Amino acid sequence: MNVLAFGSSLLSSYWNGAATYYRGVYKYLHALGYSITYAEPDAFGRQQHRDYEAVPYARSVVYQPGRWEAVLRELAPGADLLVKHSGVGVDDAEIEAALPGYRAPGALACIWDVDAPATLARTEADPLDPLRLALPRYDAALLYGGGPEVVARFKALGVPVCDQIFNGLDPDTHHPVAPDPRFAADLLFLGNRLPDRERRVEELFLCAAEQAPEMQFLLGGEGWGGKPMPPNVRWLGHVPTGEHNRANCSARMVLNINRDSMAEVGFSPPTRVFEVAGSGACLLCDAWPGVESFFTPGEEILVVRDADEIVWALRNYSAAEAAACGAALHRRALREHTYAERASKAHAVLRALWTSKRQPLQGREVPSSS
């Protein structure tokens, strides 16, 4: 089954926090028999900061901003599934409005959203939003997270089928490695500086650093230059995904901080949670609804609500206790939260949609789940 997807980038994680998610989902959909073409714009310096020149499970098509329609005209006729991912950052509204009209007979068109709270805030506030007008013409919306309330709100906007394909772990990509002195620290946080995350980084990470001047804090991610920081915080800048294993395995504990919108709606474990799980590191995770449905607080994950709790954990958990928590997190992720499982879930949703289509699939074979 041929897939044509428009997204931010499969090749680069630069200003692209969803890169690991895209790679995991499409790698394992390819293993199920899908042929993937992933179209990404040459924008925001991503192509100049590639992690890979190519990936074995997908064909990458890089286009210039404004040239998306030429890609659709050339490749959509041979696609059984057209996908528009959220947050491309270039020509989003235009692609969202046009994509269902390029669907071949018997093919599907899906919105695959990695920022459902932001999408809902935009579409529910504006009756003339291009995606709101287009959603009833899509066959389905697949969501990175958000819980049952978010699913219901998408359906209320007219999309007939909506389901959640959560973040996960690719154990081939994220796994334990030897510590690297470059990333030695008491607490590591990796995350780009974004408007709806910065306040939470200040209240959790930077405030904890102020309260624990005897400890070393490590900050990775773009955009933090010029931000006032305590002297025990060291900023690394962009950390490529290929360095994440070494970073996670070198810090005594690793902190996750969700963006405001994701933390509010909950049920949205980010990429970072599963990267840390793959490394077997001890994870401090900010509190959000539904976190306990993925990992057991206090045993597999340490849920923290403020800087005081972060500092308490840093000062009171022994090395053995932290290692035990990280090992339990790793086992749970391997057991229940791999991208192989996520791809199987996506395949089941898509297969049901293809099966229910009244128009024939013109002799194309629907991948089996075996």
Whether the pLDDT of residue 367 is over 70: the answer is: no
pLDDT band at 360 (very low <50, low <70, confident <90, very high): very low
Angle of helix 19-31 relative to helix 339-356, nearest 10 degrees, comes to 60
pLDDT category at 64 given cuts 50, 70, 90 is very high
Residue 365 has pLDDT above 90, yes or no: no
3-state secondary structure labels for all residues of the chain: CEEEEECCCCCCCCCCCCHHHHHHHHHHHHHCCCEEEEEEECCCCCHHHCCCCCECCEEEEEECCCCHHHHHHHHHHHCCEEEEECCCCCCHHHHHHHHHHHCCCCCEEEEEECCHHHHHHHHHHCCCCHHHHHHHHCCEEEECCCHHHHHHHHHHCCCCCEEECCCCECCCCCCCCCCCHHHCEEEEEECCCCHHHHHHHHHHHHHHHHHCCCCCEEEECCCCCCCCCCCCEEECCCCCHHHHHHHHHHEEEEEECCCHHHHHHCCCCCHHHHHHHHHCCCEEEECCCCHHHCCCECCCEEEECCHHHHHHHHHHCCHHHHHHHHHHHHHHHHHHCEHHHHHHHHHHHHHHHHHHCCCCCCCCCCCCCC
Reported residue count of the chain is 370
pLDDT for position 357: 76
Q: Which residues pair with 178 in a beta bridge?
A: none
Q: Do 184 and 213 touch, CB atoms closer than 8 A?
A: no
For range 281-288, the mean pLDDT = 97
The fold for domain 181-336 equals Rossmann fold (3.40.50)
Q: What is the pLDDT of residue 79?
A: 97
Position 111 pLDDT exceeds 60: yes
CA 364 and chain centroid, separation: 30
**What is the percent of the chain where pLDDT is above 70?**
96
Cα(220)–Cα(244) distance, integer angstroms: 10
* pLDDT the model gives residue 261: 84
Contact in structure between 90 and 56 (CB atoms under 8 Å) = no
Residue boundaries of the structural domains of the chain: 2-168+338-356, 181-336
Structure confidence at residue 220 as a pLDDT band (50, 70, 90): very high
pLDDT value, residue 117: 87
pLDDT of residue 311: 98
Q: Above 70 in pLDDT, residue 363?
A: no
Mean pLDDT over 130-150 rounds to: 94
Cα 220 vs. chain centroid, distance in angstroms?
A: 17
The reported pLDDT for the residue numbered 366 is: 53
Q: What pLDDT sits at residue 267? A: 94
Instruction: Determine if the pTM surpasses 0.75.
Output: yes
**pLDDT confidence of residue 262:** 87
Domains 2-168+338-356 and 181-336 in one fold = yes
Q: What are phi and psi of 82, to 5 degrees?
A: -105, 130
Class (C level, CATH) for 2-168+338-356? alpha beta
Which range is most confident: 175-184, 260-269, 349-358?
175-184
Q: What is the pLDDT of residue 150?
A: 94
Q: Please state the rounded mean pLDDT for residues 23-37.
A: 98
| pLDDT mean over 230-252 | 97
Mean pLDDT (the chain, rounded): 94
**How many Cβ atoms sit within 10 Å of the Cβ of residue 186?**
18
Supply the pLDDT for residue 361: 45
